[in-house]
Amino acid sequence: MKIGIIGSGHIGDTAARLFVQAGHEVALSNSRGPESLKARVQELGSLARAATVEDAAAFGELVLIAVPLKAYNTLPRAQMSGKIIIDAMNYYSQRDGQLDFSGHTSSEFIARYLRGSRLVKAFNTMWFKTLGEDAKPGAPLEERLVLFLAGDDAEAKQTVARLIEQIGFAPVDTGSLAVGGKHQQPGAAVYNRPMRPTQAREVLATL
């Protein structure tokens, strides 16, 4: 699969490596432009390329957003329309300033901004070091750590769940962007708490 990555910091860069290891093509982008990513894509090998944000979005059948949430209104909506989007962003007011979600989850807010895209909230609950170090592609699902996902588009969620499995984690669906999205936000019971699928399902059942 072709995957565009917007934001190539802790999460975007770690995910890029895992996607390449699983055989996917990636286009990495950041705020400073492709030149600044030249060395990194060389390290990642022939499946990786550096791109502008617009070109990374256009390249991907699936696009991972891994920028600070306050940058949401710089995302290239036109190039993302109709695509499966993974929203890995979290809202921290200290970093992102005051944003008014009008009672919605941050991912519902982003989905509204990126109307016409098929947004799945995932890769946001796990610390980048855990993501980088604890993938177990060869292990049975029950022995892997969970990457949670939420969304309103069943087919898009299936694609993201498959990707999560390919890179060595266990996908666990938390529900819609409204309900599951809330379960995945900072401070929630499964947020930044490494767990295996059995425990994850137990915790979710109590919510």
Ligand X SMILES: NC(=O)c1ccc[n+]([C@@H]2O[C@H](COP(=O)([O-])OP(=O)(O)OC[C@H]3O[C@@H](n4cnc5c(N)ncnc54)[C@H](OP(=O)(O)O)[C@@H]3O)[C@@H](O)[C@H]2O)c1
**Which residue ranges make up the site for ligand X (CB under 6 A)?**
6-12, 30-32, 53, 66-69, 71, 74, 88-90, 124, 127-128
Q: Which is nearer to ligand X, 35 or 142 (CB)?
A: 35
Nearest approach, Cβ of residue 73 and ligand X (Å): 9
Task: Please enumerate in sequence order all residues whose Cβ is within 8 A of that of 116, keeping only pairs 6 or more positions apart, or say none.
Answer: 77, 81, 82
Nearest approach, Cβ of residue 38 and ligand X (Å): 13
Tokens of 25: 């093509």
Contact indicator for 79, 58 with CB cutoff of 8 Å? yes
DSSP-derived 3-state class of residue 193: coil
Cβ burial of 2 (10 Å; 0-12, 13-18, 19+) is middle
Q: Which is nearer to ligand X, 113 or 127 (CB)?
A: 127
Nearest approach, Cβ of residue 70 and ligand X (Å): 8
96-100: long-range pairs with CB below 8 Å, 24+: 96/68, 96/69, 96/70, 97/70, 99/69, 99/70
Nearest approach, Cβ of residue 196 and ligand X (Å): 19
Closest-approach residue to ligand X (CB): 9
How many residues in the chain? 207
Q: Which is nearer to ligand X, 138 or 187 (CB)?
A: 187
The CA distance from 20 to 47, in Å, is 6
Nearest approach, Cβ of residue 53 and ligand X (Å): 5
Q: Which is nearer to ligand X, 89 or 135 (CB)?
A: 89
Q: Which is nearer to ligand X, 69 or 164 (CB)?
A: 69
Task: Please enumerate in sequence order all residues whose Cβ is within 8 A of that of 56, keeping only pairs 6 or more positions apart, or say none.
Answer: 4, 5, 6, 27, 28, 29, 63
Nearest approach, Cβ of residue 80 and ligand X (Å): 13
Q: Which is nearer to ligand X, 93 or 198 (CB)?
A: 93
